[in-house]
Structure 1
Amino acid sequence: MATTPRDRARAQTMNDIVRIGRDHLATHGAAALSLRAVARDLGVVSSAVYRYVSSRDELLTLLVVDGYTALGDAVDEALRAAEAADDDPIAQIRALAHAFRRWALAEPARFGLLYGTPVPGYAAPAERTGGPGTRVIGTLLTLFARGEQAGKLAAPRRARALSATLAADIARIREESGAEASDRVLVGAMTFLVSMIGAVSADVFDMYGVDTFTDRGELFEHLLDDMLETVGAEPR
Structure 2
Amino acid sequence: MSEREALGPRARNRAAIEAALRDVGRRHLAEHGAAALSLRAVARDIGIAPSALYRYVRSRDDLLTLLIVDAYDDLADALDAATTPADPPRTAFVAFATALRAWARSNAGEYALIYGSPVPGYHAPGDVTRRSGTRPLALLASLAVRVDAVPEVPGTSGSTQRAAAAALAPAAADPAVPRGADPASIARTIAVWNLLLGSIASELFEQLGPVTDDPDAVYAGITDLAAALLFG
Q: Compute the TM-score of the two structures, normalised by the length of structure 2.
A: 0.88
**1:166 is matched with which residue?**
167
Partner secondary structure for residue 208 of structure 1: coil
Question: How far does residue 222 in structure 1 lie from its aligned partner after superposition?
Answer: 1.1
CA distance in 1: counterparts of 2:117 and 2:136, whole angstroms: 20
CA distance in 2: counterparts of 1:204 and 1:164, whole angstroms: 31
| Closer, same or farther: CA 178–229 of 1 in aligned 2, 3 Å | closer
Amino acid aligned to 2:215: R
20, 28, 48: which one aligns with 2:24 = 20
Amino acid aligned to 2:17: T
Amino acid aligned to 2:18: M
Q: Work out the number of aligned pairs and report it.
A: 223
The percent identity for this pair of structures is 37
Partner secondary structure for residue 162 of structure 2: coil
Partner secondary structure for residue 161 of structure 1: helix
Question: Is the CA contact 1:199–1:220 (under 8 Å) kept in the aligned structure 2?
Answer: yes
Amino acid aligned to 2:70: D
Question: Is the CA contact 2:65–2:124 (under 8 Å) kept in the aligned structure 1?
Answer: yes
Question: How far does residue 8 in structure 1 lie from its aligned partner after superposition?
Answer: 3.2
Question: How far does residue 30 in structure 1 lie from its aligned partner after superposition?
Answer: 0.8
**1:102 is matched with which residue?**
102
CA RMSD of aligned residues (A): 2.1
CA distance in 2: counterparts of 1:164 and 1:213, whole angstroms: 35
Question: How far does residue 35 in structure 1 lie from its aligned partner after superposition?
Answer: 0.8
The 5 Å alignment of 1:123-134 reads 123-134=123-134
**1:90 is matched with which residue?**
90
Question: How far does residue 56 in structure 1 lie from its aligned partner after superposition?
Answer: 0.4
Runs of 5+ in structure 1 lacking a partner? none
Q: Is 1:145 paired with 2:142?
A: no
| Closer, same or farther: CA 121–170 of 1 in aligned 2, 3 Å | same
The 5 Å alignment of 1:31-180 reads 31-80=35-84, 87-146=87-146, 148-149=147-148, 153-156=150-153, 159=158, 160-162=161-163, 166-173=167-174, 175-180=175-180
CA distance in 2: counterparts of 1:59 and 1:181, whole angstroms: 35
Residues 59-100 of structure 1: per-residue CA shift (max 9 Å, x gap): 1111111111111111111114xx5xx620111111111100
Question: Is the CA contact 2:171–2:177 (under 8 Å) kept in the aligned structure 1?
Answer: no
Question: Is the CA contact 2:165–2:186 (under 8 Å) kept in the aligned structure 1?
Answer: no
Amino acid aligned to 2:64: L
- Return structure 1 stretches of 4+ with deviation > 6 angstroms: none
Runs of 5+ in structure 2 lacking a partner? 1-5
Q: Compute the TM-score of the two structures, normalised by the length of structure 1.
A: 0.86
Partner secondary structure for residue 162 of structure 1: helix
CA distance in 1: counterparts of 2:125 and 2:134, whole angstroms: 13
CA distance in 1: counterparts of 2:124 and 2:180, whole angstroms: 29
Partner secondary structure for residue 207 of structure 1: coil
Partner secondary structure for residue 52 of structure 1: coil
Question: Is the CA contact 1:145–1:181 (under 8 Å) kept in the aligned structure 2?
Answer: yes
**2:228 is matched with which residue?**
229
